[in-house]
Amino acid sequence: MSNEAVDTKITVVALVENEPGVLNRIASMFRRRAFNIDSLTVGRTHKPHISRMTIRVDAGPEYARKIANNLLKLVNVIDVRILDNEPHIERDLALIKVRNDDTESRNTITEICDRYPARIVDVGPKVAIIEMVGTEKFLEEFIEEVRPTGIVEMIRTGVVSMGRGTRIHDTDYQRPDLSRAGAEGANGNGRIV
Amino acid sequence: MKLKGSDIIMECLLKEGVHVMFGYPGGAILPTYDAIARYEGRIHHVLVRHEQGASHMADGYARATGEVGVCIATSGPGATNLVTGLATAMMDSSPIVAITGQVPIPAIGSDAFQETDVTGVTLPITKHNYLVTDVRDLAYTMKEAFHIARTGRPGPVLVDVPKDVQTAETEFIYPEGDVALPGYDPPWSANDKEIDDALRLIDEAERPIILAGHGIMMSGAMQEVRELAERAQIPVSLTLLGKGAMPEDHPLVIGMMGMHGEASSNLAIQEADLLLALGMRFDDRVTGNLQTYAKKARKIHIDIDRSEINKNVKVEVGIAGDLKTVLTQLLPKLGQKSHPHWIRRIRDWLEDSSERDILNYETPGILLTAQVINDIWKLTGGDAITVTDVGQHQMLEAQYYPHQRPATLLTSGGLGTMGFGFPAAIGAKFGKPEEEIWAIVGDGGFQMTLCEMATAVQENVNVNIAIINNHFLGMVRQWQELFFEKRYEATPMVNPDFCKLADAYGIPNRLVTKRDEIEDAVNFARSIDGPVLIEFVVEKEEMVYPMVPAGADLHDMKRRPKPGEA
């Protein structure tokens, strides 16, 4: 794991409207502007109408502003933060299926997992599944240790990140589904205030 | 009151102040066409001959008026035919709303007859787009579409409406008040530091130049820019789409910049110590080689699109905001300045340019595009709205038809869309019926959309068509002459007899082959209320000078030799 690779990645967090097609719009912007996505994760926040994305981009820090500005141009993107300049927590989760069909491999895996915050979540006579959570770098260290034992399958979620402290990244935007109520004759009308 | 989706579309158009729409019917949009019939008299529908024409007409209407242009088409091929017009409008920030029919919701995704994923296709070439899946969402979607199209950096918005949404009924309430889009917040004003930084750079500059773009007119900042230029005595160079931002006979205006710009503009940019880029985006046709572009200059860039700042050219002061608002903040703090040496230097370059002007050459026996356009300029009092196509005639229009008023040159700058000129001129006439409109087009581009002659006749649109016929795709030929050793592959054109073609459509016409015939033909065109076509047969191998070859340094221009030098 070289530090150089880490230095040329940008961590972007975007709050977006939880609507059909938003992921497509964002992915399309990255493709069109020739930015290379290293990983992209998306999930709902505590507000069901807001999704949050963590996007790791293969680009130098000089592109951070460009990427943020182009994301902000998208109508469904509510807010964007570049996390590289502030203290933040990042986590990546991997499920790794390894060979487990002899004593030696079984012992090696148990030994490695003891030294890492990794758990063996499924064991069979031939293979086992390890779950490992950590920073991207930590995960990659772990994977390199396990690799000689024989990885047969692997999946990673991609990095999710959150800034530390009280600089809260959230939006006040409420989306009451009033367009439909409005259609029935109420005062409220969708996103019009 | 309960209304069908199709009627809701029409009611929304009325609420948004739409009087005219350009379109072509088809299966999936038929319910809305039925509604169009019910609204005739309040909203006029113009039947085009190809949907590309509809999108260019909506664009021309929008450029001429500053209002949102509307086009409508059916699903599948109808919608895909709009694509070129949407991309054209996107590149030049033109506000249009396109309404497309879509197959009924249950059929979406089944590869139904005339089904295309239109929101997918148009995603990168619209400012935003919608697929309406519930008739109850229709009214606020229409409101959002118009709001997004006309605010911030304007652009095209597409609303795709499945057939069953057009026929479904719901209570119609047009949303009053402002649109609340959480992720849509165009920048507006500058902060104090930005204003102070800009003022300091202006104050310290000895060789400043204003780069005046399309954004000046979109923001309505003509007066503010003029005040800035006059008070600080800063020469003004125009982009192609910036023409009209300041009257071209103003002593501080030094002409267009860029690939076929005035040499004086390009040299001034390379020598300047300050660029004030106002509502422009440093397109590659404007900058040439970025590595050597304006190296001696510090830069102030004011644009409403944040992502344009530092995109191509790194700037010292970048202000994302509405130009008129920002300049209104800046002007009260701006003192008088003068730069007599700098302005004299630019005057010298201008004089050198006029010595090379083709109009000062003896050209017996041949008709030049520059002469045709300059004569049209004289005969129209320089006051017509000209709508060009793309190529040599476009650049020569920019050079030989000075514009005094905003939004009087309509041209496809960013996308360079051949076929744009004629339909856009028709759209412009609907927006500005009291203005004299000239479509100045080449023989190549005109043939891409000439079917709209039927539209012009059916609607009796008073548009004068000037075909500059050199029997070549002239600009491509010019590149072949300069960079491909005159191998004229696929550029010579065997053309139809344009005058006979006009006859077939019932359009009065004239053929001009000599300079002394121009005046009579132009006056003939101006005298007729309705479309008129004039074919100008010009010199086949004319060149547009100056020329900065693609990617070359901006000061590295190919110039026309002075008389006697060649």
Segment A42-92, tens digit of pLDDT: 999 999 999 999 999 999 988 999 999 999 999 999 999 999 989 999 999
CA B298 – CA B313 distance, rounded (Å): 11
CA B225 – CA B213 distance, rounded (Å): 11
Lowest mean pLDDT among B29-43, B179-193, B202-216, B294-308: B179-193
pLDDT digits (tens, 9 = 90+) for A94-124: 999 999 999 999 999 999 999 999 999 999 9
Residue of B nearest to A185 (CA): B171
Residues A124 and A147 in one domain: yes
pLDDT at A7: 59
In percent, the amount of chain B with pLDDT more than 90 equals: 94
CATH topology of domain B192-352: Rossmann fold (3.40.50)
A190 lies in some domain: no
CATH architecture of the domain B2-171 equals 3-Layer(aba) Sandwich (3.40)
Residues A11 and A41 in one domain: yes
Contacts of A103 (CB under 8 A, 6+ apart): none
- Last residue of one domain, picked from the residues A40, A66, A86: A86
Across the interface, whether the CB atoms of A70 and B310 are under 8 A apart is answered no
Assess whether pLDDT exceeds 80 at residue A187: no
B121, B301, B306, B319: best to mutate for the A interface, most A CBs within 10 A:
B306
Contacts of B473 (CB under 8 A, 6+ apart): B391, B442, B444, B490, B491, B493
CA B367 – CA B359 distance, rounded (Å): 11
Question: Virtual CA dihedral for B241, B244, B249, B253, nearest 10 degrees?
Answer: -50
Which residue, among B18, B17, B125, B213, has the nearest Cα to B417 in the 3D structure? B125
B558: helix, strand or coil: strand
ipTM score assigned to the predicted complex: 0.90
pLDDT at A177: 53
A182 lies in some domain: no
- Last residue of one domain, picked from the residues A71, A86, A101: A86
Place of tokens 């903040």: B329
* Joined tokens for residue A33: 């502007």
Extract the runs of DSSP E, i.e. beta strands, from B65-105. 69-73, 96-102
B464: helix, strand or coil: strand
CA B46 – CA A181 distance, rounded (Å): 36
Residues A28 and A97 in one domain: no
B136, B153, B165, B312: best to mutate for the A interface, most A CBs within 10 A:
B136
Domains B192-352 and B357-537 fall in the same CATH topology: yes
CA B270 – CA A98 distance, rounded (Å): 63
The CA distance from B286 to the nearest CA of chain A, in Å, is: 20
* Joined tokens for residue B238: 């125009």
Q: Which of A78, A184, A189 sits opposite B175 (nearest CB)?
A: A189
Residues A117 and A67 in one domain: no
Residues of B annotated as catalytic (active site), given as ranges: 51, 113-114, 163, 475
A126 lies in some domain: yes
Dihedral (CA of A63, A65, A70, A72) sign: positive
CATH of domain B357-537: 3.40.50.970
- Is residue B483 within 8 Å of residue B491, measured between CB atoms? no
Assess whether pLDDT exceeds 90 at residue B457: yes
CA A100 – CA A47 distance, rounded (Å): 42
Q: Which of A69, A72, A182 sits opposite B173 (nearest CB)?
A: A182
Residues A7 and A82 in one domain: yes
The CA distance from A161 to the nearest CA of chain B, in Å, is: 21
Q: Domain count for chain A, please give it.
A: 2
Q: Which secondary structure element, helix H or strand E, spans residue B128, and what is its range?
A: strand B128-131
Lowest mean pLDDT among B174-183, B197-206, B293-302, B341-350: B174-183
Average pLDDT over residues B71-75: 98
CA A116 – CA A139 distance, rounded (Å): 9
CA B435 – CA B63 distance, rounded (Å): 14
The CA distance from B496 to the nearest CA of chain A, in Å, is: 40
More confidently predicted of B562 and B524? B524
Residues A69 and A116 in one domain: no
- Last residue of one domain, picked from the residues A59, A86, A113: A86
Average pLDDT, whole number, for chain B?
A: 96
Which residue, among B393, B391, B397, B386, has the nearest Cα to B422 in the 3D structure? B386
* Omega before residue B546 within 30° of 0, cis: yes
Contacts of B232 (CB under 8 A, 6+ apart): B202, B208, B334, B335, B336, B337
A187 lies in some domain: no
Query: Counting beta carbons within 10 angstroms of the beta carbon of residue A164, is it exposed (0 to 12), middle (13 to 18) or buried (19 or more)?
Result: exposed
Assess whether pLDDT exceeds 60 at residue A190: no
Residues A80 and A94 in one domain: no
One DSSP character per residue, B134-187 reads SGGGHHHHHHHHHHHHHSSS---EEEEEEHHHHH-EEE--PPPS-B--TT----
Across the interface, whether the CB atoms of B181 and A75 are under 8 A apart is answered yes
Which residues constitute the domain of residue A98? 89-160
Across the interface, whether the CB atoms of B148 and A75 are under 8 A apart is answered yes
CATH at residue A61: 3.30.70.260
Which residue, among B423, B429, B435, has the nearest Cα to B384 in the 3D structure? B435
- Is residue A150 within 8 Å of residue A98, measured between CB atoms? yes
* Joined tokens for residue B252: 């501080």
Average pLDDT over residues A2-13: 70
Residues A98 and A82 in one domain: no
Across the interface, whether the CB atoms of A185 and B180 are under 8 A apart is answered no
Assess whether pLDDT exceeds 50 at residue A178: no
Assess whether pLDDT exceeds 80 at residue A180: no
pLDDT digits (tens, 9 = 90+) for B318-332: 999 999 999 999 999
- Is residue A70 within 8 Å of residue A29, measured between CB atoms? yes
* Domain ranges (residues) in chain B: 2-171, 192-352, 357-537
A112 lies in some domain: yes
pLDDT at A186: 31
One DSSP character per residue, chain A reads --HHHHHTEEEEEEEEE--TTHHHHHHHHHHHTTPEEEEEEEEE-SSTTEEEEEEEEES-GGGHHHHHHHHHTSTTEEEEEEGGGS-EEEEEEEEEEEE--SHHHHHHHHHHHHHTTEEEEEE-SSEEEEEEEE-HHHHHHHHHHHHHHHEEEEEE---EEEE-TT-----------HHHHHHTT-S-BTTB-
* Joined tokens for residue B164: 């069953």
Average pLDDT, whole number, for chain A?
A: 87
Contacts of B320 (CB under 8 A, 6+ apart): B187, B303, B304, B305, B306, B309
Q: Give the orientation angle of helix B51-65 with respect to helix B421-431, to 10 degrees.
A: 50
CATH at residue A150: 3.30.70.1150
Q: Which chain A residues are Cβ-neighbours of B173 within 8 angstroms?
A: 182-183, 185, 189
Residues A81 and A108 in one domain: no
